[in-house]
Amino acid sequence: MSRLGFRGLVIVAGLTLAGLSFAEDAPAPGVDPASEFQTAASAIDKGAYGEAVDRLELLADRGFVHPDASFNRAVAYLARARSPQRETGDLGRAAQALSETLALRPSDTQAETLLDAVRAEIGRKRARSGGANLVARPRLARAIAGLLPEAAWGVLAALGSLSLAIGIALRFRTREHGIPSALAVGIGAFLLLLGGALGFSARHFRRTSTPAVVVVDEARLLDAAGRPLQGRAEGNIVPEGSDVVLLERHAGLARIEWGSTEGWVVGGQVREVTGP
């Protein structure tokens, strides 16, 4: 994307934010988000990407959460990554900010397109350096539980419970409805178990883990003591921009799940994706 493209993206986001009411997730007193965004947008327009990043990160550190805030932060990081001012991890931080934008505003096709472009650029960068473009599939239980929203599994379980109750009622009321009642009982029991189990799993995953993104060139998996994991070195390296699941933080380390692999990394190598 050209510098002109960055200008258009960030100014649109900045002007949009300038007209918003900042009642939700307000930052510390005395901080004007609209003013900060306009200043950051001007900095990007002038090529002062480091200043724009600093301002937008400070706003995030003060507790302000908004999809346009995350989008502008991504644009600032991506612009810096494609300039002589680039720093290690800029592309990963851009990917994290865009993932956050989509978590806060799933319908944002512009952020989705830009995220695909960032990850493609990371893939080309790794190919040039000889690194493998590793893609890890999530664990089966997490993948299945994530097929539907948590509330949808609850609705499915409720429908199963209703079908089960109707089937039992028909069975005890008359023998003429033996086959329909048996079908209702069977289908209801299946839906109740399926929706209940997956709803419980989705709730468990939501409460015990957080989506995160690797924001360094490579994050090497460690054990709980901080020593490198045994096995193939390549299989224990999580590439920049990879989606991971953050399970816990302890003593400067972060325990993550990457596909079917679990391990610890240095805490600053991953950054959480803030959602609604």
Give the span between the Cα atoms of 146 and 144, in whole angstroms.
5
Are 200 and 261 part of one and the same domain? no
125 CB-near residues (< 8 Å, 6+ apart): 91
Are 119 and 179 part of one and the same domain? no
Pick the more confident residue, 25 or 76: 76
Are 219 and 246 part of one and the same domain? yes
Give the span between the Cα atoms of 112 and 103, in whole angstroms.
11
Q: Residues 213-270: pLDDT tens digits?
A: 999 988 999 988 888 887 666 668 888 999 999 999 998 999 999 888 889 999 999 9
Residue 197: domain span: 141-208
Are 9 and 108 part of one and the same domain? yes
In a domain, 230, yes or no: yes
Query: Per the structure, how many domains does the chain have?
Result: 3
In a domain, 135, yes or no: no
Give the span between the Cα atoms of 103 and 188, in whole angstroms.
33
Q: Using pLDDT thresholds of 50, 70 and 90, give the confidence band for residue 74.
A: very high
Q: Given this model, what pLDDT does residue 1 score?
A: 47
Q: Does the pLDDT at position 42 exceed 50? A: yes
When pLDDT is averaged across residues 96-125 and rounded to a whole number, the result is 91
Pairing of strands 243-250, 210-214: antiparallel
For all residues of the chain together, what is the average pLDDT? 83
When pLDDT is averaged across residues 167-180 and rounded to a whole number, the result is 74
Residue 218 forms beta bridges with which residues?
Answer: 239
Q: Using pLDDT thresholds of 50, 70 and 90, give the confidence band for residue 23.
A: very low
For the record, the structure tokens of 237 come out as 């390296």
In a domain, 134, yes or no: no
Last residue of a domain, one of 208, 223, 247: 208
Give the Cβ contact number of residue 197 at 10 Å: 15
Q: Using pLDDT thresholds of 50, 70 and 90, give the confidence band for residue 16.
A: very low
